[in-house]
Amino acid sequence: MQPMSAGKVKGIDVSHHNGAINWSQVKSAGVQFVYIKATEGRTYTDPTFLTNVKGVKAAGLKVGAYHFANPANRASDDAANFINALKKIDYDLMPVLDLESAPTGMTAAQLVAWAKDFLSRVEAATGKRAMIYTGVWFANKYAGFNSALADRPLWVSYYKTTLPSSFAGWTKWTAWQYTDSGKIVGISGNVDLNIAESLDDLLADTVAAYDANPAFHRALSLTSPYMRGADVKAVQERLGSKPDGIFGPKTKADVEMWQAHHDMDATGAVDEMTWRALFNHENDYDKNEKYHRSLSYTIPMMRGADVERLQGRLKIPINGFFGPKTRESLIMWQERHDADGNAVEVGKGLRPSGGVDETTWFALFPDDRPEEPTQPQPEPEQPAPQPTPEAPSNPSPEPKPEPEKPQDPKPEPAEPAPAESGEQPEPPKEDKPVKNNPFACIDWKARLRNRWFLMAVGAFILRMLTSHGLLDQAIANEYEQYINEILDLLMFVGIVVDPTSKGISDDQKSEESAQEKAQENAQ
């Protein structure tokens, strides 16, 4: 995980235990964000919650709320209590589940199921991503939550100066509570102190902060140190890349590929022209949106007109975001409908994957299914009309036909001479059927000279290493940059080629060579 020095933004979290707070003085101490305890369990609301929110907003600080979990209750009851509190305030930061307590005898699997149920309900009600607050000690006590919660942003509680490289499946923190005995002017007594790399990390994961058409205000490119910010994250989300808000070699490569695919100069930089092409073609909601991608619950959430049409078909609130509520409703629909969209008994329907592949889309919208082309019936040929001969007005003698020249008879193919030994000649061997090899059509030599293929392989290997905690993310970013520089050098000396350049690619050369050989064989 990132070192403590990565935390550039100061924050605190408070509850009624901190008493009356002078928020103007807190702001003067350099604090930029505040998390306030809202609720606990299924009925409790912190008595200073609304007062603290009002004071934080008046001071011009970013504010968020957290719920202290009581897994002895039903997750739905805890979630309802938190949701009701959130409806009463205007907040900036991601809602937080404070997960540091569980009843005796609760297993890791049960705790994970409880947390997921709570989070999905909060996200469905608010339309915002929710973050998990927990301690390393607590996660380790419950088998690292079986790494089943690592897809959520992490607010870690850890009171030592160096975090482990990973725990419970997480390899990066969004916020870090590094002490519970801090001192801040404006607050009497101890207070929890926190850090974050940037406010964008806390804000950009909220759905409300997403803008389908953000304004262009700077050209993005690969620099040293890397560019960071919400605009970088917006580009990454638009490209389908990992939205970490850092413009590194992987983002540059993704921009280059997108530009080449859209007939633009593959510079790898997001200038104003590229920005407009990326964001100014968002379609409004179209109730007849056609199938063009596989929809699923991702982080960040998929969004678009096709999601809105899906939600309308499922008869759930339409917000254009494929979140946990949409996934849950889709699973229920898949269990009860077959591939033709007909209602069936539960368990006899489609595979309840929670994703919209082509089969599910056409089951949901049968009218979108393409019609099978019909073979046209050949029309009977009509006999051509015979022209009526007309007598010429001035008949002239017909010319005598010239005698045809005798044609040389075609030589008959010579029969094969019998073998001198008296043995019968072997019959011609028939070609043996070739087994179907799905990779036979791939020119692997060309692939291994393709810059983007090699870069994709390298990026995949680095992601596997980081996801399993075998490599730190910062080191992986450096390795990715080294790979990019090495490929630049190999391109310069001609060992590696760029298929997006205006020259003829190896694939094209191979194809032309194959066509020439085919023509020679035909002749």
Which pairs count as long-range contacts for 267-271, CB under 8 Å and 24+ apart, including other chains? 268/221, 268/222, 269/219, 269/220, 269/221, 269/222, 270/219, 270/220, 270/221, 270/235, 271/219
Same domain? For 347 and 271 the reply is no
Half-sphere exposure of 264 (CA within 13 A, CB side): 20
Question: What is the pTM assigned to this prediction?
Answer: 0.45
User: pLDDT per position in the chain (523 positions), as tens?
Assistant: 889 888 889 999 999 999 999 999 999 999 999 999 999 999 999 999 999 999 999 999 999 999 999 999 999 999 999 999 999 999 999 999 999 999 999 999 999 999 999 998 998 888 788 999 999 999 999 999 989 999 889 999 999 988 888 889 999 999 999 999 999 999 999 999 999 998 888 984 544 334 445 665 556 666 656 777 777 888 888 888 888 888 888 888 888 888 887 777 888 888 877 887 887 644 333 445 566 666 665 655 677 778 888 888 898 877 777 887 888 889 889 989 999 899 998 888 998 888 888 889 889 988 888 776 555 555 555 555 555 555 554 555 555 555 555 555 555 555 455 444 444 555 555 445 445 555 555 566 666 777 667 777 887 787 788 777 777 776 777 777 778 778 777 776 677 666 654 444 444 444 455 555 555 555 5
Catalytic entry in 98, 123, 254, 308: 98
Residue 398 is predicted with a pLDDT of 52
Tell whether 310 and 234 lie within a shared domain: no
The answer to whether residues 61 and 128 belong to one domain is yes
DSSP H or E segment with residue 132: strand 131-135
Q: In this structure, are 69 and 104 located in the same domain?
A: yes
Domain-ending residue, one of 208, 235, 250: 208
Tell me how crowded residue 261 is: count the other CB atoms within 10 A of its CB.
Answer: 10
- Residue 214 domain-assigned? no
Report d(CA 92, CA 378) in Å as an integer.
69
Does 94 fall in a domain? yes
> Number of structural domains, the chain?
4
Determine, yes or no, domain membership for 495. Answer: yes
Q: What is the DSSP letter of 4?
A: G
Catalytic entry in 13, 92, 256, 472: 13
Instruction: Tell whether 135 is covered by a domain.
Output: yes
DSSP 262-327: TTS---S-B-HHHHHHHHTTPPPP-TTPPP-S-B---SSPEESHHHHHHHHHHTS---SEE-HHHH
Q: How far apart are CA 12 and CA 26, in angstroms?
A: 9
Provide the 10 A C-beta neighbour count for residue 149.
22
| CATH number for position 36 | 3.20.20.80
**418: in domain:** no
Q: Are residues 134 and 236 in the same domain?
A: no
Last residue of a domain, one of 345, 367, 389: 367
Task: Please check whether residues 199 and 232 belong to one and the same domain.
Answer: no
Residues 195 and 69 in one domain: yes
Residues 44 and 148 in one domain: yes
In a domain, 218, yes or no: no
Domain containing 256 — which CATH number? Answer: 1.10.101.10
State the catalytic residue, choosing from 100, 117, 271, 357.
Answer: 100
Residues 253 and 176 in one domain: no
Is 100 assigned a catalytic role? yes
- Are 355 and 478 within one domain? no
Q: Is residue 37 part of a domain?
A: yes
The question of whether 306 is a catalytic residue gets the answer no
Instruction: Tell me: do 341 and 458 sit in the same domain.
Output: no
Task: Name the residue with tokens 């890349």.
Answer: 241
234, 310: one domain: no
Q: Would you say residue 292 lies in a domain?
A: no
Q: What is the pLDDT of residue 285?
A: 39
Cross-strand partners of 196: 9, 175
Residues 6+ apart with CB under 8 A from 457: none
Rounded CA gap, 171 and 466, in Å?
A: 8
φ, ψ at 261 (rounded to 5°): -65, -25
User: Among 367, 396, 424, where does a domain finish?
Assistant: 367
Structural domain that includes position 246: 224-275
